[in-house]
Structures are given as C-alpha cells and as structure tokens.
Structure 1
Amino acid sequence: MPSTNAISVEKLARLIGRPDTPALIDVCTEEDFAIMPRLVPGAVRRPWDAVPAWGPEFVASGKPAVVMCTKGLKLSQGVAAWLRHEGVAADILEGGVMGWQAAKLPMVPADKLPQRDARGRTVWVTRSRPKVDRIACPWLIRRFVDPGAVFLFVAPSEVMDVADRFAATPFDIDRPDVHWSHRGLKCTFDVMVEEFGLETEPLRRLAAIVRGADTGRPEIAPESAGLLAASLGLSRMFSDDLAQLEAGMTLYDAFYRWCRDAVDEGHDWPPTARKKS
C-alpha cells in the first residue's frame, strides 16, 4: 500500500521550477549515489543518518519537504518521519530517484555543480548592474539547481579576484577561461540549460526568448522584445542588484509558466483553449 505521506513523480515534476516548490532532500547512500551521480532538479544532498543535525534548517525554513532515496523505501521513509516529528510537512517521493529516472525526467549531473560553502550553498559571482542573462541564470539556478545559491554582483574588473578569494564560480564573463559564459551564438542561459541537463521543452522555449533579448536578436522569438523591455525597466527601478534579482525572479517565474502552460492561450473572449503540457 502506498504511503499516505508520499508524492508521485508526476505531481512533483509539475511543482519543480515554481516558487512554491517544496524543499527537495536527497538522502541516497554514498554508494548508491556513486552509481548514479545525478540529482532531481533543485534537490540537495543530505546524509540520512545525520538528520538530527541538519533537520532544524528545514524546520526554520517553514517549507514542506520531499525526501528521496534510491527506491523510496526505508531511508526516505525514516528521514521524512523524523522531519515530521520536528514539525516539517515531509513527504517521500514514490519510487525514489529510480522512479524519477524511469519517467525520463531531467536530472542534474553532480559533476557540473560548483563546490559548496560551509553551509552547503553554491556561490556565484558576476558583473554588477545585471540586465538579462545575469538575472536569467540566477533564476535558473535557484529554481532548478540550488535553491539556496548565493549571488555576488561586483565591479567587472574585480569578478575574477572575488571568485578566487571567496571560492565563487564566475558566470557571464567574456573571458576564455570562464566556463559559464557565452559560447558562439549561445548565451550563458543556453549553456546552463544544456550542461545542467535541463533541456525540457519549456526551458528550451524560454532559452530562445532569453537568447533573443540578451544578444540583440529579437527575431529569434516574438517574446524577446518584451523580455528586454521588462529587464531594462527593472534595471532602472532598482539601484540594488539583489533587490533587482528578487524582482526579476517573479518576472522569469511568469515567463516560465507561460512557456510551460500558456503558449496556446490567447487573450480574447471567450478565451481560447489552453494546450496542456
């Protein structure tokens, strides 16, 4: 009989990428993870046998959680039960990571993730005064790679030195030694979508919009001009880059949901039928 505290692969897939996504906790053993070193998008790794030590951080977040192990059995059941004891609304992923993989859903290669800081967060650095790519990439990372990611916006001349001193990963910097940057006609967002294994139809559609807005080629997608206008407007509204990023998160949430759920919906009356993805 399925657990009453469980979520299906299909239901979780519809939640990932949204601002209300639960905290996703991967408790696979080191041996199992070494066989398949990939993560459900947005999941963080935690040792199952240390839940009393790390559990309080999820209590403090106030978010519900979904715990996953290899098959969705004893480890995720036990960790979720412990978290519920602590006051977290915790479910398990039915079928575990193997169930997710069997559904042929995207997974993030662990070897593409930067090193994490002492609090388990990835740290990124880029140029100050972001416009398009430098807002789009943080949105992608926080929604699909690392919800707790830290972003440092600094003077262009200081990006590489800050990266070195603060163990941060530089991105969207025009240097041949920077991995996460433009490649040919692709913008940094394109590169991240591809290398993080996130090439779903909605994200490919969003990547085309971002590419058109970021590289001065609005003909790539009709929506690119609107994204550029909104992005430039945000840059004029906020003098603080982090405040601009928070506002930009909502902007990209809206574009993503359009890409996923509303591309065939018109603004007429009566409304046209929406094609469900």
Structure 2
Amino acid sequence: MDGRGMPSSITITHDKLARLVGTPNCPLIVDVRTEEDFSKDPRIIPGSLRRRYAEVSSWAADLIDRKVVVVCHKGAKLSHGVAAWLRYEGVTAEVLEGGYVAWMTTGLPLVPEAKLPKRDNEGRTIWVSRARPKVDRIACPWLIRRFIDPFAVFLFVQPSEIEAVGERFGAAPLDVEGVFWSHRGERCTFDTMVEELGLGSPAMLRLATLVRGADTARLDLAPEAAGLLAASLGLSRMFSDDLEQLEAGLLLYDAFYRWCQDATDETHSWPSRKVGARDG
C-alpha cells in the first residue's frame, strides 16, 4: 500500500487525547520511548503499549484497522518516524504533540509500570479471579481494559484454583482475599486500583463511590449505586459465560463513567402538557 488516501492529520494534542483516554473510541497509544528515557520515568500514559521503535516493521501489521497515537519522549523524530512507517503500512497513525514530556508537565494521569503484573511474551497483563463476577470483578477488568492494557487477559476460575493458576500462568490474583489487588477495609478492589494506579480523577472517584456502594451493600453512598447493582445482577443472570458477561459489562461501565464525567447535572422528565398546547 502506498499510503494515498490516508487522513492528513499527523499530530494530536495532549488535551484532545486526554478526552479520549478511557473511552471506547480512544486510539491505541503506542509508547516508543527509548529504554534510557523510560528508565528515568517508568510510567505510561493510561492505556499505552510499549513497543521498540526500531522493530516497527515487525509489529506494524498487528495494528492494521486500528487508530494509533505514537508517543516518544518529546514528540520528535522517533514518534514521527514510527507514525510515518505505520501510515505506510496502512495504519491510521498520529503523533502526540510534545510527547511524553508534554503530557507529564500538564499533570495528566500516569500509570506506574512497576505496579502492574509482569507482561507475557505478547506484552499483555494477565489476571485471575473468581468465576461468576458481579460488580468488582467486572468494574476492575473495565478499568484495566480502558486505562491499563487494552489487550489484558482475564481468567475466571474456581476459587480453590486461583492461587495455583496464578502461579502456573503468571496471572495476578484480582479481588481475592489476602492479595495486593483486593479490598482494603471498607474500600473495594476498584478503589484499590484507582488509588495505586494514580487514576483518581473527579469522574473516576465518583464512579468508585458507585462501585463501592454496589459491591459492599452500601447503597446509601450514592443514589445511583442501587441502579449499578441492579444492572450488574441482571447481567450476571443474562450470561452463563463470564467472558461474554464481561464484554457486555464494558458498555455498562462506559456509560456510567461518561455520566460521571459530564452528565451528573442533567435531568429528564416527561412533558407536563400536550404538545402544541398554548400557554395561559
């Protein structure tokens, strides 16, 4: 493919990308910083994948049919070169203006890579939890897929097998007693992930309150917690397959997160009078 007909946009600003992060329409963010630059600040923009810029010819084909934003240290030669190569291969690719430094200096969220499980040979994080999820075990995978690793693998197994599966398959136990990613006091696993991963925006903290209320039977925490619980229990009865339930639950949490962002003040009511009726 010669690249003709590709969109003319080459760069994207950090504020525009920030509005897309966490949404289903967010481009795939590819971090191509050198190992030297990454080691100085081993954090990633939420949802980023780390890839070696010098090996772009070997992984470019994996991104066909996806929109991509390439990030290097300062948004210069590495990201522009990688983005140009991706466009040559038929990938819609843009460069983050100012790179990682611009994002960091603006104070936007960054995820500490050291807090995440060790990635597999394909760069994915792997998580294991109890089968038949309800609230926390859908909310946390949503958080991971949208803000941590879009290709994360989730293994739902019998409670008695979680520890062994985690050890044999390199999976981090999630929402299980006595592990790092779990409840802490009155706070649920979703709260733990938001805090540990530096994702505590106002919208995310509002959502965390709803999840906590629904997951810990504290429906008094927010009026919407009862609705989240009802929807979660309904989904658990609609699907016998945990992974199918998770896919459906992603849309549910997309909607609640969007509500937390900019729809909390909106109300809706049925018209109080007939259409066309005259005032007075």
| TM-score of the two chains, using structure 1 as the length reference | 0.94
1:197 partnered with 2:202 = no
How far apart, in 1, do the equivalents of 2:73 and 2:121 lie? 26
Residue of 65, 90, 101 corresponding to 1:87: 90
Q: Deviations over 1:90-126 (max 9, x none)?
A: 0000110100011110000010111111111000000
What's the CA shift for 1:212?
0.3
Corresponding residue for 1:263?
Answer: 264
What's the CA shift for 1:4?
4.3
Which consecutive unaligned segments of at least 5 residues does structure 1 have?
A: 271-277
1:153 partnered with 2:156 = yes
Q: Deviations over 1:216-266 (max 9, x none)?
A: 000111110000000000000000000000000000000000000101111
How far apart, in 1, do the equivalents of 2:256 and 2:17 lie? 20
How far apart, in 2, do the equivalents of 1:147 and 1:201 lie? 22
How far apart, in 2, do the equivalents of 1:104 and 1:39 lie? 13
How far apart, in 1, do the equivalents of 2:119 and 2:21 lie? 22
How far apart, in 1, do the equivalents of 2:268 and 2:97 lie? 38
Corresponding residue for 1:230?
Answer: 231
SS at match of 1:119: coil
1:184 partnered with 2:148 = no
What's the CA shift for 1:268?
3.3
1:102 partnered with 2:105 = yes
Corresponding residue for 2:69?
Answer: 66
* 1:2-17 mapped onto 2 (5 Å cutoff): 4-17=9-22
Extract structure 1 runs of 4+ deviating beyond 3 A.
none
1:214 partnered with 2:215 = yes
Corresponding residue for 1:167?
Answer: 170
Corresponding residue for 1:275?
Answer: none
Corresponding residue for 1:119?
Answer: 122
Which consecutive unaligned segments of at least 5 residues does structure 2 have?
A: 1-7, 272-280
How far apart, in 1, do the equivalents of 2:11 and 2:264 lie? 31
Q: Deviations over 1:124-162 (max 9, x none)?
A: 000000000000000000000000000000011111111
Corresponding residue for 1:48?
Answer: 53
Q: Deviations over 1:172-216 (max 9, x none)?
A: 0012xx110000111000000011110101100000000000000
Corresponding residue for 2:278?
Answer: none
Letter in 2 for 1:88: V
SS at match of 1:20: coil
How far apart, in 1, do the equivalents of 2:28 and 2:59 lie? 13
How far apart, in 1, do the equivalents of 2:227 and 2:261 lie? 18
Corresponding residue for 1:29?
Answer: 34
How far apart, in 2, do the equivalents of 1:126 and 1:172 lie? 6
| TM-score of the two chains, using structure 2 as the length reference | 0.93
How far apart, in 2, do the equivalents of 1:89 and 1:223 lie? 38
How far apart, in 2, do the equivalents of 1:75 and 1:181 lie? 39
Larger Rg: 2
What's the CA shift for 1:269?
6.9
Aligned length: 264
Corresponding residue for 1:274?
Answer: none
Cα RMSD after superposing both structures: 1.1
